[in-house]
Chains A and B, each alone.
Chain A
Amino acid sequence: MENAVENKNNKFIRYLKLIRQHIAQFFVKYRYFFIKIGISVITLALTVILLFFLLRLIPGDIVQEYALKLQGNRGIPYEQAYELAKDLLNYDPNENIFEQFGRYIGGLFRGELGVSYIETGVSANTLIATRLPWTLFISSVALFLSFFIGTAVGCYAANNRGKLVDKISSGYIAISGSIPDYLMALLLVIIFAFQLRLFPNAGNYNAFETTPGFNLPFIGSVLYHAFLPILAYTLVQTGTWILQMRGSAIGVLGEDYILSARARGLSEHTIHKKYVKKNAMLPMITMLGVSFGALFGGATLLESVFNYPGIGLEISNRIISKDYMVVQGLIFFSSAMVICVNLLVELIYPLIDPRVRRAA
């Protein structure tokens, strides 16, 4: 009888050991992913702390200001307005810094990024919902356009080093690298919008003549307004993509497998297409992911030059009108997106390039 119980216990312990082993194996097998996830969680937490302290730099008592405003708008006594302002802004200057931080974290977990105390009914969440699609539209179209043009030209220039194409492309790199993107945008606006009057100088679509929806005039108007921002973005970014792709392809051309492919008598065309381009594209894909993450913050200056209502224009306008709560929420959102997209790129990359997983 006793023996049976002991046997059962032993079995149980063995099962436990087995399960533990499996869990340990699981963690060891996928440790690359867990390490990456852990690092990004830590980075996100530190970012939140930094932004919290940035918020404390704001001069003046914003709760009091907002309470006075609420008192005037809603006709309620000052104490009640003060309480309401504290709740709405999720910030109480009388608490100590740890309680304030707890409040702030609580707000972030509830998904409240920050309420405007200048316009009623506007918060960082509503701004992201209305502005982000426009930002993502122009910047991602421009990013992919410049990525495809840049990698194609860069690869071609690397294969024909020292020839005319290479010289023209390196000249273009030097010129586009010397003009910051907002100055390029300014030049385009001056030439095409203000002097030649070919394109509009502000806005995202013609609100008077078209109605938002899936109809031809609206889409045409959106494309017409987005043409100059996309052009400015693409002109500047293509140079960097050409530069990076050219460097990467030249690095690949020196590898042994290219030599062996030549020794096997493969045609130059096949080598360039199947060996050089594919291998040189690997680091480019990481860079594409990282640049895509950076898009969520919007290009502040480019959007303000074109008066294009994206996240970036919103950030600069809100900073000028001193609406810091919303600004802080928008900055938190964009840095969180950068961290998330970087994490995604790092997690996907080993699937594309198995060498990374083995090295980690």
Chain B
Amino acid sequence: MANIKEFGSKVWSIICLVSKFIYESILIPIWNFIKKIFKNPKSAVGMSILIVFILIGIFGPLIFPYSAETDVANKYLWPSLEHPFGTDWLGRDVFRQIIAGTGNMLQISFYTAIISVLIGTILGILAGYVGGVVDKIIMSITNIFLSIPSFPVYLLLAAVIVINGSLSFALIISLFSWAGLCRAIRIQVVSLKERDFIQICHVMHMSRTHIIFNELMPNLFSYIAINFVISMRNAIVASVGIMFVGLAAYDPTNWGAIMQAARDKGLVNVQNVIILLYPLINIVIFQASTLLLSNGLDETLNPRLKVM
């Protein structure tokens, strides 16, 4: 009986420790970060538009389900209550198409951002912190990816590899988008390495993992956060571009695919132009929100700009 009680109290203490750890090192920083985002008006506006897009992406298809059934009798309807954005050349609802495409676009941009930020950060820290031969090898690889024009290679890869989902799309786009981040992170690490607090850590024989994760990472956090948003932007530009050429047409509700189809139908027809304008305006709003978010983050997280 006493044993079980002891065991229970041990389990309870472990649960307490774990929950305390989660609360202190994950929830509070995230909460502080969110508070920081909403303090700056620019990033607050950008973040709220982005949250609206995410909500539409998650709950939109549940409220307004989209069916690809064609209904030629009702083609090219003007906007009405039943069809807020009108219907296209096959009588499908444009509003529901765009809502169905939102999730896909967000998935592509988030996956790309995550993959390229992971690769760029790891290689950038490795190059900047280890230095020497490793640095030279990584930087020459980065230089290749920065000097090959990326968009033709995206098109080539999209034609050669069959793209069948947002993850494979993201993998292709992040093949090039990590390089710029890697270079930026490396420059930061090289300049941080010469600072006093890192030198003191070296003198105190602290472990490399401690220096990298506890000393370097907090200082790099602002760059990583801003570059995350920027690579989301670039992913949208690149993926819509690839769709726009007509490659990677795996999802007809993707905004790029809608625009491409409308363009194929002929832009002399005003109806097609109107159908094309909805995804275009959505893309511009998305781009504007990420631009505002990254600029706002830059202002709040990089205090050197405040001085100027």
Measuring CB to CB, which residues of chain A are less than 8 angstroms from any residue of chain B? Answer: 39, 42-43, 46-47, 50-51, 54, 57-59, 174-175, 177-180, 182-183, 186-187, 189-190, 194-195, 250-251, 254, 294, 297, 300-301, 304, 312, 315-316, 319-320, 322, 324, 327-328, 330-331, 334-335, 338-339, 342
Contact = CB atoms under 8 A, between A and B. Distances in A.
Contacts of B292: 174
B160 A297 contact: no
A69 to B, nearest CB: 20
Given A177-B287, A178-B284, A195 B273 contact: yes
B280 A194 contact: no
Interface string B275-308: 0100010011101100110000000000000001
Interface stretch (B20-28, B63-71, B145-153): B145-153
A335 B147 contact: yes
Contacts of B268: 194
A333 B199 CA distance: 45
B149 to A, nearest CB: 4
Contacts of A251: 308
Given A301-B244, A331-B149, 16 more contacts: A39-B140, A42-B140, A47-B148, A54-B153, A57-B160, A177-B291, A187-B280, A190-B267, A300-B245, A304-B245, A315-B155, A319-B156, A319-B159, A320-B159, A330-B152, A331-B153
B237 A180 contact: yes
A294 B149 CA distance: 7
B91 to A, nearest CB: 23
5 contacts: A178-B285, A312-B152, A331-B148, A331-B153, A338-B147
A260 to B, nearest CB: 19
A200 B80 CA distance: 34
Contact of B283 (A43, A180, A304, A338): A180
A358 B113 CA distance: 38
A250 B308 contact: yes
Contacts of B287: 177-180
Given A50-B144, A180-B241, A322 B267 contact: no
- Closest 8 A-B residue pairs measured CB to CB? A297-B149, A178-B288, A178-B287, A335-B148, A194-B267, A338-B147, A180-B237, A43-B143
B161 interface: yes
Interface of B: 140-141, 143-144, 147-149, 151-153, 155-157, 159-161, 237, 240-241, 244-247, 259, 263, 267-268, 270, 273, 276, 280, 283-285, 287-288, 291-292, 308
Nearest to B158: A319
A320 B247 contact: yes
Nearest to A339: B147
Nearest to A191: B273
A52 to B, nearest CB: 12
A136 to B, nearest CB: 15
A342 B239 CA distance: 27
Contacts, number: 117
B98 to A, nearest CB: 15
A294 B151 CA distance: 11
Contact of B152 (A39, A59, A327): A327
Contact of B247 (A297, A315, A319): A319
B152 A334 contact: yes
A180 B290 CA distance: 13
Contacts of B267: 189-190, 194
Contacts of A319: 152, 155-156, 159, 245, 247
A58 B194 CA distance: 47
Nearest to A330: B152
Contacts of A174: 288, 291-292
B171 to A, nearest CB: 14
Contact of A316 (B148, B155, B280): B155
Contacts of B140: 39, 42-43, 46
Contact of A183 (B160, B284, B308): B284
B288 A46 contact: no
B152 A297 contact: yes
A327 B158 CA distance: 13
Contacts of B245: 300-301, 304, 316, 319-320
Contacts of B241: 180, 182, 300-301
Contacts of A180: 237, 240-241, 283, 287
Contacts of A324: 156, 160
Nearest to B151: A300
Nearest to B154: A300
B230 to A, nearest CB: 11
A183 B149 contact: no
A180 B236 CA distance: 10
Nearest to B288: A178
A39 B143 contact: yes
Nearest to B160: A57
Name which of A183, A194, A250 has the most chain B CB atoms within 10 A of its CB.
Answer: A183
